Amino acid sequence: MCGILAVFGVVDNSQAKRSRIIELSRRLRHRGPDWSGLHCHQDCYLAHQRLAIVDPTSGDQPLYNEDKTIVVTVNGEIYNHEELREKLKSHHFRTGSDCEVIAHLYEEYGENFVDMLDGMFSFVLLDTRDKSFIAARDAIGITPLYMGWGLDGSTWFASEMKALSDDCERFMTFLPGHIYSSKHGLRDDSRVVINWYLQLFSFSLLVAALVEAVIKRLMTDVPFGVLLSGGLDSSLVAAVASRHLAEAKVARHWGSQLHTFCIGLKGSPDLKAAREVADYLGTHHHELYFTVQEGIDALEEVIYHVETYDVTTIRASTPMFLMSRKIKSLGVKMVLSGEGSDEVFGGYLYFHKAPNKEEFHQETCQKIKALHLYDCLRANKSTSAWGVEARVPFLDKAFINIAMDMDPEWKMIRPDLGRIEKWVLRNAFDDDQKPYLPKHILYRQKEQFSDGVGYSWIDGLKDHANEHVADAMLTNAHFIYPENTPTTKEAYYYRTIFERFFPKNSARLTVPGGPSVACSTAKAVEWDAAWSKNPDPSGRAALGVHTAAYEEVVASFPAANGST
């Protein structure tokens, strides 16, 4: 990942203002520690903090067209940049950067080129010929972007709100799939299909789409690996990547053997499962450990970097934050991760209660639309805090379109038919002739990341919050925090830390509402009223699904028995 900051229409364009822009851009240096860049044009500034993944030698930003009248600062990866270069043969490219195509595409097609991009991205582009500018964010919101306004009439954009919060009177999350044009305003340009279904579906099509999504994300000139929790999603990503590296006989920096990483408290479920998957795949596996106290000690840093007070996000971000630091210390700058599968396939345990396929499908659509507030935000900012880039194959544009076009009946959880959560994905990769994974891993039950690293992690967080938040503090919380009032001591504790770093109302409004329980949505309560009695968002408490009785249902399904 990289860090971008762009400011347009400042009244003061003195050297002092330039120094201030550099200072604010420096707040994003953790995202891109490899190089810094700044382009100034009259009252316009485009700053960049680079994490060099593709073309580390010559791909510094900002990037330009041939005569430097078009300037662009980009955070992300454009996986189809070579294909796009073929459409731009009349243009001269200065670098091997995948992001340089954006400047030339604008020059060729104007503002209507963003849907041609296949990747994860946020970018800001300045046309110096008329001082017009555009900003855009990928359709899912894998990479973060914020927009703000200064009292002097200036317009601001940044990868993280910490670069805007002091100098903007108001700022907000830039919506995924949107384009802002200084000429035409804000518009929705998302073309990802997540609204309805009933296209002909085949298991082989789903497999091919995920394999292609993983392979295209191996576009890198630096050492990489896979975050492997031992659950279905990360295990499939590791299996596909490992198979591709072996078959392609590609030596990429560390050789053709895939490196995998897992973190947890000693003895945690994830560590055990990940080791088993790594042994099966033959990866070079790295087991990383942390203690509850180490996690608690990191909370302030985590909240500063992730920029949220959402309980589930902070719980899961902390071990990911600690793991990313250790991964970076090993020389790795890019990792593949399994985010997005639960949203696309209805993998959260409350989906067991979905009454019909229509409601099941609509809920998956809502979960995908909210990814930028939860899992994408966590995965991006937790890793970027240490200059590591996380890529997410399950959120590939083509893969999502295929997965969301299928009749959701295939995704429904049907214990009477032996179908557990994400059955359609498991079944698609259930290959007896050339197995991707052992059966019991392929059909392993869903485990929340914050649970899988060790159940005492959440218990330790609650105990710590109970020690630092008095009963009276929680009782009066609605007076102190009238917006998104915390309802538990843990939520109150995180909120106090967040407010110290980001005291403006604009900041607190970037976090979704209530106690911000991402999994326990209103829809879950509607499907089963018993959910409302569970104040904790932990997946292990999900309506009794995470029980031995559930495991008996799984065991009764013949395809889930045995191992390969």
DSSP letter, residue 330: T
The reply to whether 506 sits in an annotated binding site is: no
Q: Report the 3 state secondary structure along 132-196.
A: EEEEEECCCCCCCCEEEECCCCCEEEECCHHHCCCCCCEEEECCCCEEEECCCEEEECCCCCCCC
CA–CA dist 521, 531 (Å, integer): 9
The reply to whether 338 sits in an annotated binding site is: yes
Question: Do the Cβ atoms of 7 and 147 come closer than 8 Å?
Answer: no
The reply to whether 263 sits in an annotated binding site is: yes
CA–CA dist 9, 43 (Å, integer): 5
Q: Which residue has the tokens 């399904």?
A: 557
Tokens of 255: 């050789």
Q: CB under 8 Å to 437, separation ≥6 — which residues?
A: 235, 236, 239, 277, 280, 429, 564
**Cα–Cα nearest to 316, from 538, 103, 16:** 538
Q: What is the sign, positive or negative, of the torsion defined by CA atoms of 169, 46, 387, 210?
A: positive
Angstrom distances, CA of residue 541 to CA of 232, 272, 336, 455:
20, 21, 28, 11
Angle between helices 375-384 and 299-306 (to 10 degrees): 110
Q: CB under 8 Å to 352, separation ≥6 — which residues?
A: 413, 421, 542, 543, 545
Catalytic (active site) residue 99: no
Question: Do the Cβ atoms of 32 and 1 come closer than 8 Å?
Answer: yes
The reply to whether 282 sits in an annotated binding site is: no
Burial 68-81 (b: 16+ CB within 10 A, else e): eebbbbbbbbbbbb
The reply to whether 210 sits in an annotated binding site is: no
Catalytic residue among 2, 99, 262, 365: 2
Binding-site residues from annotation for ATP: 227, 263, 337-338
Binding-site residues from annotation for L-glutamine: 98
Active centre residues (catalytic): 2
